[in-house]
Every structure is written in C-alpha cells, then in structure tokens.
Copies of this chain bind each other. A is one copy, B any other.
C-alpha cells in the first residue's frame, strides 16, 4: 500500500508539488485555508484535513510537507493553537517534517528545536536500531526553480538538517524535484537559499546596469552580451536569463517580463537576507541597494513583474529591444 503524505499549503507552488506526489503513487492528505484550493486537490485524489493538528495525527501518516508564504504562516502552522506541535504527547504521527517555505533561518532553527521536544505516537517511532528517536526529524528544504520547476518536478531542494533524515526524505524530494543539496544543520537550507538569491539579485541588477549603460552609449545589447559571456562579466543573469528583450528567446524579458521570478519575491528574499544579517557582522551594502531597486520596480510595474524587469527600470523609460 502506498505511503500516506501530508501537505499543508497548496498555493501555486504547493499544488504542483502535491500533484507530482499523487502522480507518483503517493496517497496525499492536504490542508489549506482556501476551500477552492482544497477542492481542486480533492478532485485530483487527495484527502483533506481541517487543521494542521488533525492532519498531523492521521494514522498511517509517514511524512508531512509544508509550503507556506511567510515566516508568520509557518510559525502559525507549527506553533499556533491548532498547529502541528499543539498535539498532546505521543500523538504526532509523521516521523519526517519537511518545510519547503522560504523563510528566515532563525525560524527554521526554532522549529527544529521545537520538533525535538515533541514525541511521536508509539507506533511510528523510527530511526537507528537500538536507539530509535521518539521525536520527528525536521528539515528546512526551500526550493529554487519557480512554478515551472514545481510543475515539471525539476526543483532544486536546499536542505538543512541531520544527514540521516535527508536520506529518508530523498524519495519524496526526488519525486518533487531534480536535485537535493544538503547544506548543513537545521537552518542551513534557508541560509543557502538566501545567499544564493542575494547573489542572483545583485548580479542581475549589475547586468541590467551594464547593458543599459552600454545601450545608452550606442552598443548593441546582443554584441555586448557576447562580450560579457566570453569574459569576466559572465554570469547566469547574462547567459541564461538575459534581461534585455530580444537578446534571448524563452526568457521573461522576451515575453514582457511575465512568467518568471516576481520582483516582489526577490525583494522579499533580499529582505530576509538583511534580517538574517541583523545578528551577524557581514556588511551588505550591495544587497541593500538591490533590495531598494526591486522594491521600486515592484511598486512601479506591479509585484508580478519578473525581476529581470530591473533592466527597464535602470534604463529609464522607453526600453529598447535588441535587434533580432
């Protein structure tokens, strides 16, 4: 009989991920505040629970995935009055908890510590022979790849937590994504994701400025991109996701900055990086400048515009497409 997996948070990303689990033969039980989202998943074969606590006490439940939009929502889902950790001792069922939300690393560490203080139902205690753990393992496993990667099952998971639990999670993660990178202890997945997106946000903004200045000085964006790609300015933002309309096909810049990674989400991630830095000494002046740029972009052009639209923002008005 196929494994039973819980899934809390079935928005754009989560619904795709849960469907991939169903398609691979898992039985899935979902919980979400949106009746519409729940109904759609039920049509696809999912079961439903009323609250996170109810879901987490379902007999037979092996693992539980959460995919939520904010640190506050994650805290509520795990620590709130009807949250997963509100269950009485020895009633929690899943021995593996996977949070795929992008949140701040400190909250992830707090949750891992809270998980360690809970106790599993006696039927499901698992782990190393001789010394089985009576608490569930908790992983932070934020993703990169966007809605497209979630639908295609090609996400990359950046995972923090014990190696033993990462190994146990591999079946589930491998169903929803293509790559799993173990980054370290609890919180390390979040930390790696934030650092990655920090570099991405800064380098995209730099590429945008370089291409905008070049065009203002009379250079052709396609030629200039070739020069970048063959030298020290080479980067993913120039060679894979070029922000100038017409330079590459199949990227948001060539479909009016739709269908990619929203500027508002980039702005949120850079804000999380700044928050994470609030307790440590790293100076982040480039991050601060980039966060403000994406915030300006999102308020001017709407929060859904792709983050590579920062090219049009720095170009200043009538953006010019590269000659085809």
Q: Which positions in A face B, CB cutoff 8 Å?
A: 81, 105, 144, 156, 158, 179, 181, 183-185, 187-188, 191-192, 194-203, 205-207, 209-220, 223-224, 226-228, 230-238, 240-241, 267, 273-274, 276-293, 295-296, 298-300, 313-317
How many copies of this kind of chain does the complex include? Answer: 4
A interface majority secondary structure = helix
> Min CB distance, A45 to chain B, in Å?
32
Residue with the highest number of chain B CB atoms closer than 10 Å, among A230, A279, A292: A292
Determine if A281 and B216 form an interchain contact, defined as CB atoms under 8 angstroms apart.
Answer: yes
Across-interface contacts of A81 in B (CB, < 8 A): 81
> Min CB distance, A217 to chain B, in Å?
4
Cα distance, A162 to B241, chains bound together (Å)? 32
Cα distance, A274 to B289, chains bound together (Å)? 12
> Min CB distance, A319 to chain B, in Å?
11
Contacts A199-B233, A218-B191, A232-B144; is A288 near B286 (CB within 8 Å)?
A: no
Across-interface contacts of A213 in B (CB, < 8 A): 191, 194-195, 198, 273, 276-277, 280, 282, 284
Contacts A158-B227, A199-B228, A216-B277; is A209 near B289 (CB within 8 Å)?
A: no
Determine if A283 and B313 form an interchain contact, defined as CB atoms under 8 angstroms apart.
Answer: yes
Residue of B at shortest CB range from A203? Answer: B203
Determine if B227 and A314 form an interchain contact, defined as CB atoms under 8 angstroms apart.
Answer: no
Residue of B at shortest CB range from A234? Answer: B236
Cα distance, A319 to B235, chains bound together (Å)? 26
Q: Could you list 20 further interchain pairs (A-B, Cβ under 8 angstroms) beyond the known A202-B210, A209-B286, A274-B292?
A: A144-B231, A184-B219, A187-B217, A191-B217, A192-B214, A196-B227, A196-B232, A198-B210, A199-B235, A206-B206, A209-B282, A213-B273, A213-B280, A279-B299, A280-B299, A282-B314, A283-B316, A286-B293, A288-B288, A288-B292
Cα distance, A63 to B273, chains bound together (Å)? 41
Residue with the highest number of chain B CB atoms closer than 10 Å, among A188, A210, A227: A210
Across-interface contacts of A220 in B (CB, < 8 A): 184
Across-interface contacts of A212 in B (CB, < 8 A): 282-283
- Of B181, B216, B292, which is within 8 A of A227 by CB? B181
Across-interface contacts of A238 in B (CB, < 8 A): 199
Determine if B209 and A202 form an interchain contact, defined as CB atoms under 8 angstroms apart.
Answer: yes
> Min CB distance, A177 to chain B, in Å?
12
Residue with the highest number of chain B CB atoms closer than 10 Å, among A188, A219, A279: A219
Across-interface contacts of A282 in B (CB, < 8 A): 209, 212-213, 215-216, 314-316
> Min CB distance, A278 to chain B, in Å?
6
Determine if B316 and A300 form an interchain contact, defined as CB atoms under 8 angstroms apart.
Answer: yes
> Min CB distance, A212 to chain B, in Å?
4
Determine if B218 and A287 form an interchain contact, defined as CB atoms under 8 angstroms apart.
Answer: no
Residue of B at shortest CB range from A205? Answer: B286
Determine if B299 and A227 form an interchain contact, defined as CB atoms under 8 angstroms apart.
Answer: no
